[in-house]
A and B are shown apart, each in its own frame.
Chain A
Amino acid sequence: MHTSEGSIFYRKIILAAVLFLFWIVLTSTLVPVNIVLGAICSAFTASVSAAILGRVLDPQITLGVILRLPIFAVRLGWEIVKANYDVAKIIINPKLPIDPRITEYRTYLPGDLPKTVFANSITLTPGTVTLKIEDDKLYVHCLAAHHEEGLHEGKLERMVAYLFGVRKDA
Protein backbone atom coordinates (compact mmCIF):
# COMPACT_ATOMS: atom_id res chain seq x y z
CA MET A 1 0.00 0.00 0.00
CA HIS A 2 2.14 2.86 -1.22
CA THR A 3 0.10 5.99 -1.00
CA SER A 4 1.30 9.45 -1.76
CA GLU A 5 0.00 12.63 -0.16
CA GLY A 6 -2.08 13.44 -3.21
CA SER A 7 -3.99 10.19 -3.32
CA ILE A 8 -4.79 10.46 0.42
CA PHE A 9 -6.21 13.90 -0.25
CA TYR A 10 -8.37 12.56 -3.08
CA ARG A 11 -9.61 9.70 -0.96
CA LYS A 12 -10.52 12.17 1.78
CA ILE A 13 -12.59 14.11 -0.75
CA ILE A 14 -14.30 10.93 -1.95
CA LEU A 15 -15.06 9.96 1.66
CA ALA A 16 -16.52 13.43 2.26
CA ALA A 17 -18.71 13.04 -0.85
CA VAL A 18 -20.00 9.67 0.34
CA LEU A 19 -20.70 11.12 3.78
CA PHE A 20 -22.52 14.03 2.15
CA LEU A 21 -24.84 11.60 0.34
CA PHE A 22 -25.39 9.85 3.68
CA TRP A 23 -26.25 13.22 5.23
CA ILE A 24 -28.79 14.00 2.49
CA VAL A 25 -30.43 10.63 3.05
CA LEU A 26 -30.50 11.22 6.81
CA THR A 27 -31.95 14.72 6.75
CA SER A 28 -34.22 13.92 3.76
CA THR A 29 -34.56 17.58 2.74
CA LEU A 30 -32.85 19.71 0.12
CA VAL A 31 -33.08 23.09 1.89
CA PRO A 32 -29.99 25.26 1.19
CA VAL A 33 -29.18 25.66 4.90
CA ASN A 34 -29.16 21.90 5.22
CA ILE A 35 -26.85 21.41 2.25
CA VAL A 36 -24.37 23.94 3.63
CA LEU A 37 -24.46 22.33 7.08
CA GLY A 38 -24.07 18.90 5.46
CA ALA A 39 -21.06 20.00 3.43
CA ILE A 40 -19.37 21.43 6.53
CA CYS A 41 -20.20 18.39 8.65
CA SER A 42 -19.11 15.81 6.09
CA ALA A 43 -15.82 17.59 5.42
CA PHE A 44 -15.21 17.86 9.15
CA THR A 45 -16.12 14.20 9.74
CA ALA A 46 -13.87 13.06 6.91
CA SER A 47 -10.86 14.93 8.28
CA VAL A 48 -11.54 13.95 11.89
CA SER A 49 -12.04 10.27 11.10
CA ALA A 50 -8.93 10.30 8.93
CA ALA A 51 -7.01 11.74 11.88
CA ILE A 52 -8.48 9.37 14.46
CA LEU A 53 -8.53 6.15 12.44
CA GLY A 54 -5.18 6.90 10.80
CA ARG A 55 -6.40 5.92 7.37
CA VAL A 56 -8.97 6.94 4.80
CA LEU A 57 -11.00 4.60 2.59
CA ASP A 58 -9.15 1.40 1.80
CA PRO A 59 -7.09 1.77 -1.40
CA GLN A 60 -8.51 -1.54 -2.59
CA ILE A 61 -11.83 0.13 -3.29
CA THR A 62 -11.60 1.09 -6.91
CA LEU A 63 -14.22 2.16 -9.43
CA GLY A 64 -14.41 -1.40 -10.75
CA VAL A 65 -15.25 -2.74 -7.30
CA ILE A 66 -18.10 -0.27 -6.92
CA LEU A 67 -19.44 -1.17 -10.38
CA ARG A 68 -19.27 -4.89 -9.66
CA LEU A 69 -20.84 -4.48 -6.21
CA PRO A 70 -24.53 -4.77 -7.32
CA ILE A 71 -23.87 -8.07 -9.15
CA PHE A 72 -22.03 -9.36 -6.10
CA ALA A 73 -24.85 -8.19 -3.82
CA VAL A 74 -27.48 -10.03 -5.88
CA ARG A 75 -25.45 -13.24 -5.94
CA LEU A 76 -24.73 -12.98 -2.22
CA GLY A 77 -28.42 -12.36 -1.56
CA TRP A 78 -29.31 -15.54 -3.42
CA GLU A 79 -26.70 -17.45 -1.42
CA ILE A 80 -28.15 -16.05 1.82
CA VAL A 81 -31.64 -17.20 0.84
CA LYS A 82 -30.30 -20.69 0.09
CA ALA A 83 -28.42 -20.67 3.41
CA ASN A 84 -31.57 -19.84 5.27
CA TYR A 85 -33.52 -22.60 3.54
CA ASP A 86 -30.78 -25.00 4.60
CA VAL A 87 -30.62 -23.87 8.22
CA ALA A 88 -34.42 -23.79 8.39
CA LYS A 89 -34.58 -27.45 7.33
CA ILE A 90 -32.13 -28.37 10.09
CA ILE A 91 -33.87 -26.40 12.82
CA ILE A 92 -37.38 -27.58 11.98
CA ASN A 93 -36.29 -31.23 11.79
CA PRO A 94 -37.27 -32.79 15.15
CA LYS A 95 -34.14 -34.98 15.13
CA LEU A 96 -31.84 -31.95 14.82
CA PRO A 97 -29.41 -33.55 12.32
CA ILE A 98 -26.28 -31.57 13.14
CA ASP A 99 -22.66 -32.62 13.35
CA PRO A 100 -20.70 -29.48 14.25
CA ARG A 101 -17.02 -29.27 13.48
CA ILE A 102 -14.34 -26.61 13.16
CA THR A 103 -12.43 -26.61 9.90
CA GLU A 104 -9.47 -24.61 8.65
CA TYR A 105 -9.50 -22.88 5.32
CA ARG A 106 -6.65 -21.19 3.50
CA THR A 107 -7.59 -18.30 1.29
CA TYR A 108 -5.57 -16.78 -1.50
CA LEU A 109 -7.27 -13.39 -1.24
CA PRO A 110 -4.74 -10.63 -0.54
CA GLY A 111 -5.25 -7.66 1.76
CA ASP A 112 -7.48 -7.06 4.74
CA LEU A 113 -10.59 -5.83 2.97
CA PRO A 114 -11.17 -8.82 0.63
CA LYS A 115 -10.54 -11.16 3.55
CA THR A 116 -13.09 -9.29 5.63
CA VAL A 117 -15.69 -9.39 2.88
CA PHE A 118 -14.99 -13.10 2.38
CA ALA A 119 -15.24 -13.88 6.11
CA ASN A 120 -18.50 -11.97 6.46
CA SER A 121 -19.93 -13.72 3.39
CA ILE A 122 -18.98 -17.05 4.96
CA THR A 123 -20.77 -16.02 8.14
CA LEU A 124 -23.91 -15.16 6.19
CA THR A 125 -24.05 -18.30 4.02
CA PRO A 126 -24.78 -22.01 4.47
CA GLY A 127 -24.18 -23.27 7.98
CA THR A 128 -20.77 -21.69 8.42
CA VAL A 129 -19.51 -19.02 10.83
CA THR A 130 -15.99 -17.57 10.73
CA LEU A 131 -14.53 -17.86 14.21
CA LYS A 132 -11.00 -16.61 13.83
CA ILE A 133 -8.78 -15.23 11.13
CA GLU A 134 -4.99 -15.50 11.23
CA ASP A 135 -3.19 -14.07 8.23
CA ASP A 136 -4.62 -16.23 5.44
CA LYS A 137 -5.97 -19.02 7.61
CA LEU A 138 -9.64 -18.98 8.58
CA TYR A 139 -11.15 -21.11 11.34
CA VAL A 140 -14.71 -21.85 10.31
CA HIS A 141 -17.42 -23.51 12.38
CA CYS A 142 -19.62 -25.74 10.22
CA LEU A 143 -23.00 -27.02 11.29
CA ALA A 144 -22.93 -30.26 9.27
CA ALA A 145 -20.64 -32.21 6.96
CA HIS A 146 -22.15 -30.99 3.69
CA HIS A 147 -21.57 -27.38 4.76
CA GLU A 148 -17.88 -28.09 5.11
CA GLU A 149 -17.79 -29.59 1.63
CA GLY A 150 -19.70 -26.60 0.27
CA LEU A 151 -17.13 -24.27 1.82
CA HIS A 152 -14.18 -26.16 0.33
CA GLU A 153 -15.70 -25.97 -3.15
CA GLY A 154 -14.64 -22.30 -3.02
CA LYS A 155 -17.64 -20.77 -4.74
CA LEU A 156 -17.83 -17.83 -2.34
CA GLU A 157 -14.12 -17.23 -2.66
CA ARG A 158 -14.48 -16.99 -6.43
CA MET A 159 -17.30 -14.50 -5.97
CA VAL A 160 -15.19 -12.28 -3.70
CA ALA A 161 -12.22 -12.66 -6.03
CA TYR A 162 -14.45 -11.53 -8.89
CA LEU A 163 -15.57 -8.52 -6.82
CA PHE A 164 -12.02 -7.36 -6.16
CA GLY A 165 -10.63 -8.46 -9.51
CA VAL A 166 -8.11 -10.89 -8.00
CA ARG A 167 -6.60 -13.83 -9.92
CA LYS A 168 -5.88 -17.04 -8.09
CA ASP A 169 -2.21 -17.32 -9.10
CA ALA A 170 -1.55 -13.62 -8.66
Chain B
Amino acid sequence: MMARDIIAGILCAVGTFFFILGTTGLLRLPDVFSRLHPSTKCDTLGGCSVLIGLMVHSGFSFDTLKLLLIVAFLLVSSATCGHAIGRSAFVKGIPIWKKGLEREE
Protein backbone atom coordinates (compact mmCIF):
# COMPACT_ATOMS: atom_id res chain seq x y z
CA MET B 1 0.00 0.00 0.00
CA MET B 2 1.65 3.17 -1.17
CA ALA B 3 0.75 6.77 -0.52
CA ARG B 4 -0.10 7.04 -4.22
CA ASP B 5 -2.69 4.29 -3.93
CA ILE B 6 -4.26 5.94 -0.90
CA ILE B 7 -4.62 9.27 -2.71
CA ALA B 8 -6.05 7.48 -5.75
CA GLY B 9 -8.48 5.59 -3.53
CA ILE B 10 -9.69 8.76 -1.85
CA LEU B 11 -10.17 10.52 -5.21
CA CYS B 12 -12.09 7.54 -6.59
CA ALA B 13 -14.29 7.45 -3.49
CA VAL B 14 -15.04 11.18 -3.85
CA GLY B 15 -15.88 10.64 -7.50
CA THR B 16 -18.23 7.78 -6.69
CA PHE B 17 -19.91 9.89 -4.03
CA PHE B 18 -20.57 12.66 -6.54
CA PHE B 19 -21.89 10.16 -9.07
CA ILE B 20 -24.37 8.84 -6.51
CA LEU B 21 -25.29 12.44 -5.74
CA GLY B 22 -25.86 13.16 -9.43
CA THR B 23 -28.13 10.15 -9.73
CA THR B 24 -30.09 11.21 -6.65
CA GLY B 25 -30.48 14.71 -8.02
CA LEU B 26 -31.59 13.39 -11.38
CA LEU B 27 -34.33 11.39 -9.71
CA ARG B 28 -35.41 13.94 -7.09
CA LEU B 29 -35.47 17.34 -8.76
CA PRO B 30 -38.78 18.56 -10.17
CA ASP B 31 -38.25 19.63 -13.79
CA VAL B 32 -35.86 19.30 -16.69
CA PHE B 33 -34.09 22.62 -16.04
CA SER B 34 -33.22 21.80 -12.45
CA ARG B 35 -32.20 18.29 -13.45
CA LEU B 36 -29.55 19.85 -15.65
CA HIS B 37 -27.71 21.06 -12.54
CA PRO B 38 -26.70 17.69 -11.06
CA SER B 39 -25.95 16.32 -14.52
CA THR B 40 -23.59 19.11 -15.51
CA LYS B 41 -21.89 19.63 -12.16
CA CYS B 42 -21.86 16.41 -10.18
CA ASP B 43 -21.13 14.16 -13.14
CA THR B 44 -18.34 16.39 -14.39
CA LEU B 45 -16.66 16.61 -11.00
CA GLY B 46 -17.24 12.92 -10.28
CA GLY B 47 -15.79 11.88 -13.60
CA CYS B 48 -12.82 14.22 -13.35
CA SER B 49 -12.13 13.07 -9.81
CA VAL B 50 -12.11 9.39 -10.75
CA LEU B 51 -9.94 10.09 -13.79
CA ILE B 52 -7.44 12.15 -11.79
CA GLY B 53 -7.39 9.37 -9.20
CA LEU B 54 -6.51 6.90 -11.94
CA MET B 55 -3.83 9.29 -13.22
CA VAL B 56 -2.27 9.29 -9.77
CA HIS B 57 -2.64 5.52 -9.54
CA SER B 58 -0.98 4.72 -12.86
CA GLY B 59 1.96 7.10 -12.56
CA PHE B 60 3.28 9.16 -15.44
CA SER B 61 3.14 7.74 -18.95
CA PHE B 62 1.51 8.47 -22.29
CA ASP B 63 -1.71 6.98 -20.93
CA THR B 64 -1.78 9.68 -18.27
CA LEU B 65 -1.78 12.29 -21.04
CA LYS B 66 -4.63 10.42 -22.71
CA LEU B 67 -6.58 10.54 -19.45
CA LEU B 68 -5.86 14.27 -19.21
CA LEU B 69 -7.24 14.64 -22.73
CA ILE B 70 -10.40 12.79 -21.68
CA VAL B 71 -10.73 15.11 -18.65
CA ALA B 72 -10.47 18.21 -20.84
CA PHE B 73 -12.92 16.73 -23.29
CA LEU B 74 -15.36 15.86 -20.50
CA LEU B 75 -15.25 19.44 -19.17
CA VAL B 76 -16.03 20.96 -22.57
CA SER B 77 -18.54 18.38 -23.71
CA SER B 78 -20.63 18.11 -20.55
CA ALA B 79 -21.01 21.89 -20.28
CA THR B 80 -21.91 22.13 -23.95
CA CYS B 81 -24.32 19.19 -23.75
CA GLY B 82 -26.05 20.68 -20.71
CA HIS B 83 -26.43 23.97 -22.55
CA ALA B 84 -27.72 22.24 -25.70
CA ILE B 85 -30.39 20.30 -23.83
CA GLY B 86 -31.39 23.33 -21.74
CA ARG B 87 -31.61 25.47 -24.84
CA SER B 88 -33.78 22.99 -26.69
CA ALA B 89 -36.16 22.86 -23.70
CA PHE B 90 -36.16 26.67 -23.39
CA VAL B 91 -36.76 27.30 -27.10
CA LYS B 92 -39.58 24.74 -27.09
CA GLY B 93 -41.21 26.69 -24.24
CA ILE B 94 -41.30 24.02 -21.58
CA PRO B 95 -42.51 25.85 -18.45
CA ILE B 96 -40.13 26.07 -15.52
CA TRP B 97 -41.06 24.68 -12.12
CA LYS B 98 -41.94 27.33 -9.53
CA LYS B 99 -42.10 27.02 -5.78
CA GLY B 100 -45.41 25.60 -4.56
CA LEU B 101 -46.20 23.67 -7.72
CA GLU B 102 -46.73 19.95 -7.75
CA ARG B 103 -43.63 17.94 -8.61
CA GLU B 104 -43.53 16.62 -12.13
CA GLU B 105 -42.49 13.00 -11.85
Contacts and interface: CB of A to CB of B under 8 A. Distances in A.
A81 B79 CA distance: 15
B33 A120 contact: no
A135 to B, nearest CB: 15
A129 B42 CA distance: 13
Contacts of B98: 100
Contacts of A101: 96
Contact of A98 (B29, B86, B91): B29
A132 B90 contact: yes
B69 A22 contact: yes
> In terms of DSSP, what is the predominant structure of the interface of chain B?
helix
How many interface residues does chain A have, given as a range?
Answer: 20 to 34
Contacts of A143: 34, 37
Nearest to B26: A91
A92 B21 CA distance: 8
Contacts of A127: 37
A98 to B, nearest CB: 6
A119 interface: yes
Interface of A: 22, 25-26, 28-29, 80-81, 83-84, 87-88, 91-92, 96, 98-102, 119-120, 123-125, 127, 129-132, 139, 141, 143
